Structure 1
Amino acid sequence: MAGLEVVRIPVLSDNYAWLVHDPASGETLAIDPGEAAPMLDAAAARGWRIGQVWVTHWHPDHVAGIPDIKAGGAVVTGPAAEAARIPTLDRTVGEADVVTLGEHRATVIETPGHTLGHVVFHFAEAGLLFSGDTLFAMGCGRLFEGTPEQMFGSMRRLAELPGETAVYCGHEYTQSNGRYALTVEPENAELVARMAQVDALRAGGEPTVPTTIALELATNPFMRAPSAAALGERRAEKDRFRS
């Protein structure tokens, strides 16, 4: 089976939405489209038509572009637990459901914490994870609705994925996240080295995403938290942190 093409689409102020294209079938998917025009323009420039939209959670910066993309015939899939807040959904999914792009299968993993119904999409064979606002590079989502216990459980679920899994998250927060991470583990040599790379990338206006599960296990203070209580303390500190 041929591989998937993934295109990073910057939208709004610091969001990333994603186009995923299957060359074998010609199908194209948009994930978390906070704006429609950049997605539609990027697809058109490549001769692609967006036939599906997958949504990780209900926040407007992840769903605002859906109506204009759906007007072109796209089928919209998102979390059943948040269907009341995403009226554009055509299909609802939950834990262990399977969604497809061509012959590529992605498993839905429920990851409550940032929102109560948040889901992520894992293409196991392709080694790709679209993590929305659950797992960031060196960070995790704010606990707007969920608890530290829920986010800790979500981190543990994602930590079980293969280390080489590429993680495509919803925001360019890496530099701020890393600066906070250094206050937690200033002696973590892998973290220090990673931050030097991140600072160089951002100084050049370059993105820092995707990351990998292995890199997060080595440097992410939330994925490395030893307990739910520790994660909760770190999340509260990060909410107050000014880099």
Structure 2
Amino acid sequence: MNLNSIPAFQDNYIWVLNNESGKCIIVDPGEAAPVLNALAKNNWQPEAILLTHHHHDHVGGVKELLQSFPGLVVYGPEETQDKGTNRVVREGDKVNILEYEFSVIATPGHTLGHLCYFSFPYLFCGDTMFSGGCGRLFEGTPEQMYESFQKLNKLPAETLICCAHEYTESNIKFALSILPEDQVLIRYYRKVKELRAKNQATLPTTLQIEREINLFLRTEDNDLKGVIKTETNLQQPEQIFAWLRAKKDSF
């Protein structure tokens, strides 16, 4: 299988997995035009669409794609039923498309019904985990997002994190505002800035990399606890996660 990212809007990525015969899976098509262009250019034939949540920049192109490809199966959470989903899936379900079996993982936080899809090595995680960050909490709580991160952190280190936005540079900049002397963050920020200066993507990342540079996965980190202790007595990992999210909201 080949993994492709289609830029959309200002900073979205629509992910496409295609096999050698051109059959493909489309993830979170927020708009139809760039997807239709890619399908025509590459002679791809869509087999299914995976939706992670109901926000327009992830589902806005579904109905137009269904007009072009009647009968296309669209998997998604209940919250996407009015966005084009015709096969509702939930935590623990298995989705078999082409030669892959995707496990459906419930990851509430960004929205209450947010789902991720995992079939090694691919994790399509929508707006739950970003490289260096986590999704804004529009509907869920910090505790819910913390638990969602714990689920994803149990996946293999080699997992490819296919998130939906190019937020890496700003996320690492935020991380450095918390831990300005962290050498891993400094080196990674330099690498990300070089990529973005060339308009190159920083995604997909891997879970192994995220465990090193994503502060939302480092809530047990002693350096991070030390910084937080100067402001508050919070020491539990879920409290640290909530503190980080609040800081990021105002960054």
TM over 0.5: yes
Question: Which residue is 1:99 aligned to?
Answer: 95
Q: Kindly provide the CA deviation profile for residues 189-241 of structure 1, in whole angstroms up to 9, marking residues without a partner as x.
A: 21111111001001111111110001111110112124111111111111111
Which has the higher Rg, Structure 1 or Structure 2?
2
Question: Which residue is 1:214 aligned to?
Answer: 208
**Matched residues, percent identical?**
43
Question: Which residue is 1:175 aligned to?
Answer: 169
Matched, 1:236 2:239: no
- SS of 2:26's equivalent in the other structure is strand
Question: Which residue is 1:23 aligned to?
Answer: 20
Give the Cα–Cα distance (whole angstroms) in 2 for the partners of residues 54 and 83 of structure 1. Answer: 11
* Corresponding residue to 1:13 among 10, 13, 22: 10
What letter matches 1:117 in structure 2? G
Question: Which residue is 1:224 aligned to?
Answer: 218
**1:1-243 residue pairs with structure 2 within 5 A?**
4-23=1-20, 26-71=22-67, 72-73=69-70, 74-80=72-78, 82-84=79-81, 86-124=82-120, 127-226=121-220, 227-241=237-251
- SS of 1:222's equivalent in the other structure is helix
Asked if the contact 2:59/2:83 (under 8 Å) is kept, the reply is: no
- SS of 1:217's equivalent in the other structure is helix
Give the Cα–Cα distance (whole angstroms) in 1 for the partners of residues 26 and 167 of structure 2. Answer: 21
Asked if the contact 1:174/1:198 (under 8 Å) is kept, the reply is: yes
Q: Kindly provide the CA deviation profile for residues 29-82 of structure 1, in whole angstroms up to 9, marking residues without a partner as x.
A: 1100011010111111111122311100000000000011111122111013x1
What letter matches 1:173 in structure 2? Y
Asked if the contact 1:14/1:171 (under 8 Å) is kept, the reply is: yes
Q: Kindly provide the CA deviation profile for residues 153-211 of structure 1, in whole angstroms up to 9, marking residues without a partner as x.
A: 01111111111111110000110001001122223221111111001001111111110
Q: What TM-score results when the alignment is normalised by the length of structure 2?
A: 0.90
Give the Cα–Cα distance (whole angstroms) in 2 for the partners of residues 34 and 87 of structure 1. Answer: 11
**Residue range with higher mean Cα deviation, 225-234 or 143-152:** 225-234
Which contiguous aligned blocks of 4+ residues in structure 1 show a shift greater than 4 angstroms? none
> Unaligned stretches of 5+ in structure 2?
221-236
Give the Cα–Cα distance (whole angstroms) in 2 for the partners of residues 119 and 174 of structure 1. Answer: 21
What letter matches 2:25 in structure 1? L
**Residue range with higher mean Cα deviation, 98-107 or 146-155:** 98-107
- SS of 2:217's equivalent in the other structure is coil
- SS of 1:34's equivalent in the other structure is coil
> Unaligned stretches of 5+ in structure 1?
none
Name the structure with the higher helix share.
Answer: 2
Give the Cα–Cα distance (whole angstroms) in 2 for the partners of residues 22 and 119 of structure 1. Answer: 24
